[in-house]
Chain A
């Protein structure tokens, strides 16, 4: 990380001090701003963010201690260094107790100054690296989750590797449960951005206002409840990848905002003025018919063309049934480890049931079925009786369960898949209202 990404704010009423510290840090390549009093400093803090603030303890008006409190209210992560004269070391110690990073006495030893600043910078870099490392480990384990040997899934692997090396926007399409998020993570993990985070955004889960502040962040006081400045997902993804799941669900207004960010790579936080530049790769996923949505005027055509540069279609599981045995093996291994339960295989007739079923919920439904079977089943193998009812009804055997709930669940899932998860349409067909349908989706964990 470059020094130019670190901001230093110098607050001192003496112009000479401001100027000489400014020149000193500019030569280090930092972004440096100065303020001549507390009020001026707070204004600058509203406009842009800083990592370090040098604060003179004695200033007319708001003194250094008071300013320190106010800065911490705006942004807790700023490291504050108190500038003091020998005479006021006592109040500097008080500032330390209230959370100042350190203090320096005038005149400052250049070596001491370099030391304090490089310590802070190194800490911040380390923190960032730790986050990125953790993310990386998670990514790697995610990639292994795409399992299969069928020609259809091999084609997907090939596309992932091809596009990963580029910075192209990717649109991942496929039915619910086909593993679109796994593909996004695999692209990221195989790209040069892998040491930076991949930040997922579920566009279907949040309302407009929340999504906006989630994406772009906000300044303190941007709206009721915005007590602190917060970075948005675009900023968190800087250097890495941002993954929009269910992109087909974003509102008109957000479509416009997104288009602008895609074109300029710039935005402002809610309630802010500072233009923020980000370097992010964009991956989107949808199970909706975007072309139809464009025709109906529900999805902007210009945004559609921006996103639809490189498309990966994930085949539904029913079109790559030859992968079922190897997927089953994979999930058995995974859950036996998680549950510490020695079930290591599946009976042939149970596997046969799995092969006959159509899997409207795709790989996710298969994973759920195996998980459930491993919970209720007994070692050493999964038996046919351990499988959920709807699988059996779909196959040759008679239903093992007459539970109304199982039937309801299977029926709702079928309709949802028929309607491409269009909630309004599905609710109409099912003869229930949208809220009830949402409740049932949650209850049966259909997502």
Chain B
């Protein structure tokens, strides 16, 4: 089993090497990075000016490139949504092969604050680990500091560690 991060229109200020290293440490698995090109137009909603994350996931699921001993996650900087919600940071197939995470709303600039690459790096790292956690079957955790805690604000993400809590670690290790 290994992890594959698929960069598609991702933010150039993200340090990919560090990202791969830290994700690899959390899961104890090899992490490979690959740039890909996706047909984003299929997922674009011209009224909301956002991208439908489930559609993007389907693009890679239907590409035939997924593999049973690999978890694949798209890294992007596009603003993602699902129709019923105003936005999502990411989405994953629970217990599946694919996930997606966006840095769009993880920038300080998005909230009118000065740019902070270090903060962006740690936020996207947590978001990637969180969504990958779902692909391993982990569900949301009530521990505020656990990376599997559900967060809808960046402030909540900043509160979390980029690692599982004891309980989630136990579940992950038992897989």
Contact = CB atoms under 8 A, between A and B. Distances in A.
B20 interface: no
B61 interface: no
A20 B150 contact: no
A109 B86 contact: yes
A133 interface: no
B54 interface: yes
Contacts of A16: 82-84
Interface string B106-147: 000000000000000000000000000010000110000000
A114 B82 contact: no
Nearest to B50: A107
Contacts of A113: 85
Interface in A17-33: 17, 19-21, 23-24, 26-29
The prevalent SS among residues of B at the interface is loop
Interface in A110-160: 110-111, 113-114
A108 interface: yes
A110 B83 contact: no
Contacts of A3: 139-140
A29 B85 contact: no
A113 B150 CA distance: 12
Given A108-B86, A110-B86, A28 B139 contact: yes
B134 A17 contact: no
Contacts of B153: 111
A378 B84 CA distance: 75
B139 A20 contact: no
Interface in B78-104: 81-88, 91-92, 94
A106 interface: yes
Contacts of B86: 107-110
Given A19-B54, A27-B140, A106 B84 contact: yes
B152 A114 contact: yes
Given A28-B140, A111-B153, A23 B91 contact: yes
Given A20-B54, A26-B94, A27-B94, A107 B84 contact: yes
Contacts of A17: 83-84
B63 to A, nearest CB: 20
A27 B152 contact: no
Contact of B85 (A26, A27, A28, A109): A109
A114 B142 CA distance: 12
Interface in B138-165: 139-140, 150, 152-153
B85 A24 contact: yes
B139 A29 contact: yes
Contacts of B84: 16-17, 20-21, 24, 83, 106-108
A113 B87 CA distance: 12
A231 B82 CA distance: 37
A404 B91 CA distance: 82
Contacts of B134: 27
Given A16-B83, A26-B94, A111 B140 contact: no
Contacts of A83: 84
Contacts of B152: 109-111, 114
Nearest to A30: B139
Nearest to B89: A110
Given A28-B150, A110-B86, A110-B87, A23 B94 contact: yes
Given A19-B54, A23-B91, A27-B134, A114 B150 contact: yes
A3 B139 CA distance: 10
Contacts of A24: 82, 84-85
Interface of A: 3, 14, 16-17, 19-21, 23-24, 26-29, 83, 106-111, 113-114
9 contacts: A16-B83, A19-B54, A24-B82, A26-B139, A27-B134, A27-B139, A106-B84, A114-B150, A114-B152
**Nearest 4 Cβ contacts at the A-B interface:** A29-B139, A20-B82, A111-B152, A110-B152
